[in-house]
């Protein structure tokens, strides 16, 4: 499994708007992606409830995982999204 660790860039963390944008991007990728906090149990990243339940705040790290053939490209795109302050856009 290909993984990436990223610090949350949104100033208020992965609350409703940033979480919705992230879930939309995961679903658009069309491949299974997992998310968890470091050392946590990976969960499907295509669920708004899963993302909100993480309770990830600004600066918290999360680990994304993917086993698809295009995992590197998918994860790079998702990492770039999470690194941005989606609340400021």
Which strand (E) or helix (H) includes residue 59? Answer: none
Q: How far is CA 12 from CA 16, 51, 56, 60, in A?
A: 10, 14, 9, 11
Domain ranges within the chain, ordered by starting residue: 2-83
Model confidence over 32-89: pLDDT tens digits? 999 999 999 999 999 999 999 999 999 999 999 999 999 999 999 999 999 999 888 7
**What percent of the chain shows pLDDT beyond 70?**
100
Residue 22 has pLDDT above 90, yes or no: yes
Mean pLDDT, the chain, rounded, equals 96
Residue 87: the pLDDT is 81
Average pLDDT over residues 14-21: 93
Catalytic residue from among 4, 15, 37, 84: 15
What is the distance between the alpha carbons of residues 75 and 6, in angstroms, rounded to a whole number? 10
58 has catalytic annotation: no
Residue 88: the pLDDT is 80
CATH code linked to domain 2-83:
3.30.1340.10
């Amino acid at each position: 499994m290909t993984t990436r660790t990223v610090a949350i860039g949104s100033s208020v963390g992965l609350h409703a708007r940033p979480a919705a944008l992230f879930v939309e991007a995961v679903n658009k990728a069309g491949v299974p992606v997992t998310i968890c906090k470091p050392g946590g149990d990976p969960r499907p990243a295509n669920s708004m409830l899963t993302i909100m339940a993480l309770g990830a705040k600004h600066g918290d790290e999360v680990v994304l995982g993917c086993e698809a053939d295009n995992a590197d490209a998918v994860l790079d795109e998702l990492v770039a999204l999470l690194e941005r302050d989606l609340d400021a856009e």
